[in-house]
Structure 1
Amino acid sequence: MSEQSTFPDLRGPWEDAEQRIQDAHKAVQELKSYLKQQNEQVISEKERLEIQKRAQIEKERIQRSQTDKNKLKQNFEALQSQIGTQNGGYAFEEWFYQLLNFCEIQSKRSYISNGRQIDGSLTHEGTTYLLELKFTKSLSGAQEIDSLKAKVSKMADNTMGIMMSISGYTKVAIEEASGSKTTLIIMDTSHLYLFFSGVMSFQEIISRIRRHASQTGQAYLPVSEYYN
């Protein structure tokens, strides 16, 4: 009936035939309006259910992500008793690549280049970073910084280096890593715990230190200064 536009049955000898036809047209229009409204409500309900479904999926994804991040943190802390040992170093390297996989950061595991051992690399925002992972009890010094600098200098222009030193750095090491044209950014345990806290993603942490290095020439950015 909602598609009907003519009403031959209403045409006849009745005095009010025209009025009847007008009333019929009006009824059809009202029916069309009602059906349209009902259809919109159905679509709206479908959209609402779809939004709820997507929200639930995202909630579950976040919960899984948080569970996986907590597991990463637990595994990292379980390694602390092995700091300074060869096996601990290997285990930390394996753990670090689990971290990169969790963060969906493109990476390459350790390899030999030009006779030099490279702990691996990661690529972030179009830049490839050679990795140097230090799982030692002592602070990393200028010698370790110079070694990474030398490795980076053998690579393409768009290559930089990231050093992750669990025990931190000497003052001289930080000065050696820094400079107006520094190719390094250096990190320590505090940056890992910033990631664990959920305040920033690991990608955001890398970007923040890189920006700081570009603006100041300083390769190290303490977590306490992230929002200054």
Structure 2
Amino acid sequence: MVQQVNPALINPLIRVLSTAYWYRNELRDFLVVATGDRSLVFRYPWQDKTMSKRDLATALVHDLTQNQHRYRDVLVRFILTAADMPDPVSLKHLEDGARKYQMAREAIDVFRPMVEPYRKEQEEITEFQRRLQTQKDIDDFRRHTNQMIDDLKVKFLESEKMAAQPRGYALEGILNELFEVFNLESRRPFTAYGEQIDGAFTLAGTDYILEAKWQAKPIAAGDVTEFAGKVTRRLDNTLGLFVSMSGFQKSVPDLVARTGRHSVLLMDGSDLMAVLDRRLALDELITRKKRHAAETGDIQLPAWTILGQL
């Protein structure tokens, strides 16, 4: 059931309309703006000189109040717009203008405090709609992100059928697209000082360079330490992410850990699938790997271990 507008507002509203606008065309134009419905206002005989401005305003207001099941929102908007109308100072220029202006000011001053409950109602509705829109934006963003990840998973599964070299290039592309999906300020493959870098990104203020391999056998320690050398030739705030779809030899984490400062994190095929299956966000995966390495010295924290902790 529609909550009716307080009937005590009706006569003060009509008084405001009939005193604040001297010319009927100005009143008509204000009513169009206030109701937001031109056809609603123009249904009344504005050219009929036998009807006064007050008669026309009264007819409109009464139609709205008697049909609040249909027009309540229009009526509330109308009331609030009338309460916020500008000071009718132009009345002062009319004959007997000072008196006309005073009558209009008195009508407005009486009317304005009466509409406060409806102003608060509209503010609550606006805030509720804002929250709904914010949540909708979040949901839309999540759906869009999930769709992009799903598309990359399809691309990844298709790349499994490729020969070794194109498959490796496809992996580089998929990883770099993932960095973009997760807003990790990514940079595509490049060559610097004769060294090939498979990609780069920034996460939480730390710069990373990427090494991506899709080989038949697990990666040996020599490949990782060679990559670590590329990392250490950059600024101290730079780390490396070595992604190997075939994983790493069991001795790699311990051997690399003995080389000094831990500058490389290891990521394998199961880690990547946890991201592509949308079980774990890429930025969270890397952040947890980094934190674990800093606390324990272990540079290969598996995604399944992280998932077990969540």
* TM-score bracket for the superposition, by shorter chain length: 0.7 to 0.9
Structure 1 residue 77 and structure 2 residue 157: aligned?
yes
Does structure 2 conserve the Cα–Cα contact (< 8 Å) formed by 1:121 and 1:131? yes
1:212 aligned partner? 292
My pick for the range that moved more, 127-136 or 57-66, is: 57-66
Q: In the superposition, relative to structure 1, how do residues 217 and 136 fare at CA in structure 2: closer, same or farther (>3 Å)?
A: same
Shift of 1:183: 0.9
Counterpart of 1:62 (choices 142, 156, 178) is: 142
Aligned AA for 1:87?
Answer: P
Aligned AA for 2:304?
Answer: S
Paired with 1:197 and 1:34, the residues of 2 have a C-alpha distance of 57
Does structure 2 conserve the Cα–Cα contact (< 8 Å) formed by 1:160 and 1:184? yes
Shift of 1:115: 2.3
- Greater C-alpha Rg: 2
Counterpart of 1:163 (choices 222, 242, 246) is: 242
Does structure 2 conserve the Cα–Cα contact (< 8 Å) formed by 1:181 and 1:217? no
Aligned AA for 1:120?
Answer: G
Shift of 1:32: 6.0
2:222 aligned partner? 143
Q: Match of 1:215, SS? A: helix
Does structure 1 conserve the Cα–Cα contact (< 8 Å) formed by 2:219 and 2:247? yes
How does the TM-score come out when normalised to structure 2?
0.60
Q: Match of 2:251, SS? A: helix
Q: Match of 1:167, SS? A: coil
2:276 aligned partner? 196
Paired with 1:120 and 1:51, the residues of 2 have a C-alpha distance of 38
Higher helix share: 2
Unmatched tracts of structure 2, length 5 or more: 1-11, 14-108
How does the TM-score come out when normalised to structure 1?
0.79
Counterpart of 2:172 (choices 93, 104, 114) is: 93
Counterpart of 2:122 (choices 42, 47, 52) is: 42
Q: Match of 2:241, SS? A: strand
Q: In the superposition, relative to structure 1, how do residues 76 and 152 fare at CA in structure 2: closer, same or farther (>3 Å)?
A: same
The count of aligned residue pairs is 202
Shift of 1:196: 2.7
Q: In the superposition, relative to structure 1, how do residues 154 and 101 fare at CA in structure 2: closer, same or farther (>3 Å)?
A: same
Shift of 1:162: 0.8
Shift of 1:210: 0.3
Does structure 2 conserve the Cα–Cα contact (< 8 Å) formed by 1:162 and 1:185? yes
Paired with 1:161 and 1:114, the residues of 2 have a C-alpha distance of 17
My pick for the range that moved more, 46-55 or 167-176, is: 46-55
Paired with 2:134 and 2:257, the residues of 1 have a C-alpha distance of 46
Shift of 1:34: 4.2
Paired with 1:64 and 1:223, the residues of 2 have a C-alpha distance of 24
Unmatched tracts of structure 1, length 5 or more: 3-27
Higher strand share: 1
1:11 aligned partner? none
Paired with 2:234 and 2:142, the residues of 1 have a C-alpha distance of 38
1:16 aligned partner? none
Q: Match of 2:115, SS? A: helix
Counterpart of 1:115 (choices 168, 176, 194) is: 194
Q: Match of 2:198, SS? A: strand
> Identity, % of aligned pairs?
24
Paired with 1:54 and 1:79, the residues of 2 have a C-alpha distance of 37
Q: Match of 1:81, SS? A: coil
1:129 aligned partner? 208
Q: In the superposition, relative to structure 1, how do residues 103 and 33 fare at CA in structure 2: closer, same or farther (>3 Å)?
A: same
1:154 aligned partner? 233
Paired with 1:59 and 1:118, the residues of 2 have a C-alpha distance of 35
